[in-house]
Amino acid sequence: MAVAVYAGFTILQLRGLEEIQSRTIDRNRMDSLLLLRIQNNLNAIALAMRDMVDSTEPYGLTAWQGPFKRIRTDLADALAQEERYSPLEGGEARDGDQRRYLTTSVAQFWDALDRVFEQARAGDEAEARTVVRLSMQARQQSLTTAVARLLVSNNETEKDAAQRTREIYARVTRNVYLFLAAMLILILLTGLYIVQYNRRLFAEVEALAQSRSDLAQQLISMQENTFRSISRELHDEFGQILTAVGAMLHRTERQASESMRKDLREVQEIVQSTLEKVRSLSHALHPVVLDEVGFEGAVDTYLPLFEQRTGIQIRYEKSGDSRELDTNVSIHLYRIMQEALNNVARHAKSPRAVVRLQYQPASVVLEVEDDGVGFGKKQQSGLGLVSMRERGELLNGRVEFAAGHNGGALVRITVAHA
């Protein structure tokens, strides 16, 4: 809107300038040239009349009719054009009274001159010369004075037009500066508003991110607590029940007949297998060894079981000086390792995998790498990878999913640890 208003105002100013240029300055200059032409003709008349009254000239007065006829024709043409190009003011020619006076006086001058030539043809040249000297030269001076006034008027008009032009240029220049200042202020205000709006928006986003992080922390903590409770129930309650059932079956076997012992042994094997599965599930839900011997001990316990359960060969590499990790860091690193190895078993189609644990001066790095098919588009958006990212963010760490050295998948979690 500001640009449109400024452009419209500037166009109006330029149109006014164009009008001054075309209606005043150009017409005024053309009119001045025509007035100079008229003045030249009047000067030629003055010279001719001076020669007419000079008694030393051998020619009669009637001999000057030819030169005066040519001057009269040119003067009439100049007067006609001057009337057409005279500067306009309010739609009419300015200085109309002076121009009418000039036109009337010229007509009267030629009428008087015609009578002078008639008097000379009648033989009274002396009287005719006297009329020229006393009357005609005065009329010529009056005409010259009238033309001079019009030239002065045109000069004043040109000065006035130049002043108006300078005023228009000054207004346009001032408006340009005002427009630029207004636009700069508008841009500054808009920029400040955008900055404030973005700050509020980023603050809201940060608050939402913090709320999301807190919620994720609560959910994961609730999940771990639930897993711990279920694991304890499985290990303590169901484990003890299955152990008691096994003992009772063993005692019954000693008292049973030979035909029933075979069936009791099969039942004992089923109970023992179930007990092992319950213990394995309990360990998967919450490794008690993580609380007892720490993260490294839990890794040493979990990897052989995973290798035995899946048939995938696991190579474990540890570097750096071992140190005790925080319980929260240990459980999340352990869960990330579990999820990464489960992905190897479900998706990688790899017969082997490598688990690397690196203790660096200011961080701990855990890597799981396989020789399988690598990450696909579906895998990159899977829930397992999302869970690993969430756990990494909760530790203020960095989780990376990259291609392995042999074309497989590489999961790397880096956690700052003093």
pLDDT in tens, 337-357: 888 888 888 888 888 899 999
Which of these three, 157, 187, 217, is where a domain ends?
Answer: 187
Instruction: Place 196 in a pLDDT band, splitting at 50, 70 and 90.
Output: very high
Q: What pLDDT does 94 receive?
A: 52
Q: What gap in Å lies between CA 88 and CA 176, rounded to an integer?
A: 31
Tell me what the mean pLDDT of segment 267-286 comes to: 73
128 domain residue, yes or no:
yes
| 116 domain residue, yes or no | yes
Q: How confident is the model at residue 234 (pLDDT cuts 50, 70, 90)?
A: low
Most confident of 23-37, 163-177, 188-202, 249-263: 188-202
Domain boundary among 128, 163, 187: 187
Ranking 39-43, 86-90, 96-100, 170-174 by mean pLDDT, the lowest is 86-90
Residue 209, in any domain of the structure: no
High-pLDDT (> 90) share of the chain, %: 9
The answer as to whether 205 is a domain residue is no
Q: Is 292 in the same domain as 180?
A: no
* CATH (domain of 394): 3.30.565.10
Please provide the average confidence, as pLDDT, over all residues in the chain.
80
In a domain? residue 382: yes
Q: Do 58 and 168 reside in the same domain of the chain?
A: yes
Of the segments 70-79, 174-183, 289-298, which one has the largest average pLDDT value?
A: 70-79
pLDDT at residue 19 greater than cutoff 60: yes
* pLDDT for the residue numbered 273: 79
Same domain, 123 and 11: yes
pLDDT (tens digit per residue) in 203-214 = 998 888 778 767
Question: Tokens standing for 178?
Answer: 């005002």
Is residue 304 domain-shared with residue 181, that is, in the same domain? no
pLDDT tens for 44-65 read 988 888 888 776 666 777 888 8
For residue 202, tell me if it sits in a domain.
no
Which residues, in sequence order, are bridge partners of residue 319? 358
Both 43 and 160 in a single domain?
A: yes
Q: Look at residue 200 in the predicted model and tell me its pLDDT.
A: 92
Q: Residues 179, 183, 185, 186: is their CA dihedral positive or negative?
A: positive
Domains of the chain: total: 2
Q: Which domain holds residue 157?
A: 2-187
262 falls within a domain: no
Same domain flag for 44 and 179: yes
Give the per-residue pLDDT at 351: 87
Q: Say if residue 197's pLDDT is above 50.
A: yes
Q: Indicate the pLDDT class of residue 386, thresholds 50, 70 and 90.
A: confident
> Are 8 and 130 in a shared domain?
yes
State whether 179 and 61 are in the same domain: yes
Q: What is the mean pLDDT of residues 233-256?
A: 72
Last residue of a domain, one of 131, 155, 187: 187
**Cα dist. 85→28, 29, 123 in Å?**
8, 9, 43
If asked whether residues 310 and 175 sit together in one domain, one would say: no
Give domain status of residue 194, yes or no. no
Same domain, 48 and 165: yes
Q: Give residue 378's pLDDT.
A: 47
Per-residue pLDDT band at 418 (split at 50, 70, 90): very low
CATH of residue 22's domain is 1.20.120
Task: Note the pLDDT tens digit of each residue in 285-315.
Answer: 666 667 777 888 888 888 888 888 888 899 9
Looking at residue 402, its pLDDT comes to 85
Please give the pLDDT value at position 121. Answer: 84
Give the pLDDT band of residue 361 (cuts 50, 70, 90): confident
What is the structure's pLDDT at 241?
77
